[in-house]
Amino acid sequence: MGKSRSSKKNNAEFEEDVEKVKRSETLQVKIKSIGENSEKSIAPIIGYFPSGYDPLKKHDNSEENRNVKIYKSLYTRNPKKPRMQLVVREDGSQVNFVGTNYTGEATTPQLCNYALGVLDKETGVLKIVPIAANRIFRLEAKVGESEQLENELQEAELTAEDRDAKFRNLTVKYSTNKNIRRDVKIDTLRQTADPETQQGLDYKLKEIKMNKEALQAIASTANARNIPPYDMDATTSDMAYPLNKIILEGEWDDLLDIFELTQAGSEVNPDVYPSFVCNRVQKLKEIEDGMEKRQMAGILSYITHLIKFKDRNSMDGVSTAKRHKFPSIFWQKFSSMFGSNGRRIPDEKQQLLISYVLVLSMFADNFRTNPLDISKDLRMKTLSLRPHYQYLGCKFVWDNRELVATLPVPLEFQTTESRRR
C-alpha cells in the first residue's frame, strides 16, 4: 500500500509540472550581441574586495558617499586590450581601493569568458554584453591621492625608446645573425638623423669644394632620362647598359631558381613564369658554358621578378602574381626604385620598370629581339611598346620578315622638337 501511495503522489506531482509548463509563457526573442566600442563605450567591469570590505554596509545611498573612477591608458600597443585601473574611494577617506588589469592575478591565463544578458519584454530584445575576463578587478587598499594612481598608470607603460631598446637586446640574445645585421643597419640609418651627427656632417660638407660643372653634366644626362644606368661612350652593345649596374653582385645568389630547374631537367611552368622566359628555356639548355648559362638564367629570373612586381601593383594582373614569392632583397629594392608602397605604381616609375625589362630582354636575345612575347607579358600592344624601345636608343630592322629591335652603339637618344603653329 505504501508503494502505491507514493507512486500516485509522484504521478500527481508530474502532472502538476506538465500543467505549469503548458501554462508558461512562450516569447519570441531577438538576440542582440553588443560589442565593445573603445570610442563610445566599454564592456562592463566587475570589482570585488578580497578583504571582505562591504561599501554598502554603512550607507544606504552609496552613490553619494562613494566615488568610482576608471582610468584608461591611451598609450598602449593593443587598443582592444588597454591597461585600466578601477579606483573606489569613500568621501573624506584617504584609503583608495585600486584594481588593475595588468598586475596581480589579472596577468594569469584567463580560461573563462563571461557575458551579461538583459531581456526587454516590451521590445522582445535580449541584449548580450560581453564581460572581458581580464576586467574582473581585485580591489586592494592603498593610501594616497588619486593623482598618484594616474601617474602609476602612466609609468606602467613603456616609452617607445625603452621598448625598442628591449627588443634590440632580445634580438642580440636569441635571434639569428641575419636579424642582428638588419638591426645594426637600422641603427646606423637612425644615427644619420641625429641632430649632433647632422651638424658634424654639415661642417664637413662646407669644407668640400664642389665641382658645379660636373653636377650640371650629371643632371643633364643621367637624371634627365628615366632609364637604367647607361654609357654613352660604349663601343659594344653589352656595355651600353652595364649589366653589373642593373643586377648587383650580391643579387645573383637569389636568382638561381631557373638555373636549378634546368639543371634538374624539370620543365618551367607557364603559369608561374612569363611567356618570354618560357620561350627562352630551350635556348638556355643549349648553352654549354656554366658561367654563361648561370648568367642567362639569372637574367630570366630577374625579368620574372620585374614583371610579377608590375602585375602585383596593377589592377589587371594582380591575380597572376598573388602566389609569386619575391626574395626580400628584390621586394625592398623594387619598392624603393618604383615607389609602389603597396599601391599602384606611378606612370613615371612604371616607364622605368618597363625600360629595365626591355634592356634585360635585349641581353637575353643577344640584342636582336622580337617584342611580340614580351609585350604580351607586359600587357601592352606591340605598337605601343615600340616608342619605349626607341626611347632606350634601339632601332628596328627587318630580319627574315620579322621586325626586330636592335641596340646600335654608340647610343643615340631621340630628342623631341617643339614646333610652332
Query: Model confidence at 221, in pLDDT bands (50, 70, 90)?
Result: very low
* Whether residue 136 is found in the same domain as residue 69: yes
CA 114-158-155 angle, 5° bins: 85
* Whether residue 117 is found in the same domain as residue 172: no
How many C-beta atoms lie closer than 10 Å to residue 411's C-beta?
18
Point out the domain boundary residue: 121, 156, 191: 156
Question: Which tens digits make up the pLDDT trace of 324-370?
Answer: 888 888 888 888 888 766 567 888 888 999 999 999 999 999 999 99
Beta strands in 330-399 (DSSP E): 368-369, 395-399
Name the more confident of 216 and 87.
Answer: 87
% of residues, the chain, pLDDT over 70 = 69
Residue at 245 is within a domain: yes
| For range 249-268, the mean pLDDT | 88
How many whole angstroms separate alpha carbon 249 and alpha carbon 291?
A: 14
How many whole angstroms separate alpha carbon 366 and alpha carbon 236?
A: 12
Residue 368, strand partner residues: 406
For 136, the 3-state DSSP assignment is strand
How many whole angstroms separate alpha carbon 372 and alpha carbon 380?
A: 10
Written as nine digits, the cell of 118 is 538583459
Least confident residue range of 79-88, 131-140, 150-159, 180-189: 150-159
Is it the case that residue 184 has pLDDT exceeding 60?
A: yes
CA 24-30-31 angle, 5° bins: 105
Query: Model confidence at 416, in pLDDT bands (50, 70, 90)?
Result: very low
Question: Are β-strands 114-120 and 95-100 bridged in parallel, bridged antiparallel, or unpaired?
Answer: unpaired
Residue at 111 is within a domain: yes
* Whether residue 21 is found in the same domain as residue 50: no
* Whether residue 292 is found in the same domain as residue 395: yes
| For range 12-18, the mean pLDDT | 65
Is it the case that residue 102 has pLDDT exceeding 70?
A: yes
How many whole angstroms separate alpha carbon 420 and alpha carbon 104?
A: 82
Which one-letter DSSP state was computed for residue 401? T
**Given this model, what pLDDT does residue 8 score?**
59
Structural domain of 93: 32-156
For 378, the 3-state DSSP assignment is coil
Residue at 220 is within a domain: no
Measure CA 105 to chain center. 35
**Given this model, what pLDDT does residue 31 score?**
85
Question: Which tens digits make up the pLDDT trace of 21-71?
Answer: 556 667 788 888 777 665 556 667 778 888 777 776 665 554 556 688 888
**Given this model, what pLDDT does residue 356 score?**
95
- Say which residues have a Cβ less than 8 Å from residue 263's Cβ, sequence separation at least 6: none
Written as nine digits, the cell of 216 is 650640371
Phi-psi region of 26 (alpha: psi -120 to 50; beta: other; left: phi over 0): beta
Residues 137/139/144/149 CA torsion (nearest 10 deg) = 0
Is it the case that residue 418 has pLDDT exceeding 50?
A: no
Q: End-to-end alpha-carbon separation of the chain, Å?
A: 126
- Find where cell 631537367 sits: 265
**Given this model, what pLDDT does residue 208 score?**
61
Written as nine digits, the cell of 86 is 578601477
Residue at 288 is within a domain: yes
CB 90 within 8 A of CB 65: yes
- Find where cell 641596340 sits: 407
Q: Tell me the H-state helices in 133-176.
A: 146-156, 160-174
| For range 263-289, the mean pLDDT | 88
Is it the case that residue 371 has pLDDT exceeding 80?
A: yes
Query: Model confidence at 417, in pLDDT bands (50, 70, 90)?
Result: very low
Amino acid at 335: S
For 375, the 3-state DSSP assignment is helix
Point out the domain boundary residue: 156, 177, 198: 156
* Highest-scoring range by mean pLDDT, 79-83, 87-91, 404-408: 404-408
Measure CA 382 to chain center. 36
* Whether residue 134 is found in the same domain as residue 10: no
* Whether residue 301 is found in the same domain as residue 165: no
Is it the case that residue 189 has pLDDT exceeding 90?
A: no
* Whether residue 192 is found in the same domain as residue 275: no
Is it the case that residue 112 has pLDDT exceeding 80?
A: no
* Whether residue 315 is found in the same domain as residue 378: yes
* Whether residue 92 is found in the same domain as residue 8: no
CB 80 within 8 A of CB 98: no
CA 375-380-383 angle, 5° bins: 80
* Whether residue 255 is found in the same domain as residue 350: yes
Question: Which tens digits make up the pLDDT trace of 310-322?
Answer: 888 876 766 777 7
How many whole angstroms separate alpha carbon 397 and alpha carbon 394?
A: 10
Is it the case that residue 162 has pLDDT exceeding 60?
A: yes
Name the more confident of 230 and 345.
Answer: 230
Residue at 419 is within a domain: no
Is it the case that residue 159 has pLDDT exceeding 80?
A: no
* Whether residue 324 is found in the same domain as residue 305: yes
3-state SS, one letter per residue, for 173-233: HHCCHHHHHHHHHHHHHHHHCCHHHHHHHHHHHHCCCCCHHHHHHHHHHCCCCCCCCCCCC
Per the structure, the count of domains in the chain is: 4
Q: Is 137 exposed, middle or buried (0-12, 13-18, 19+ CB in 10 A)?
A: buried
% of residues, the chain, pLDDT over 90 = 18
* Whether residue 397 is found in the same domain as residue 299: yes
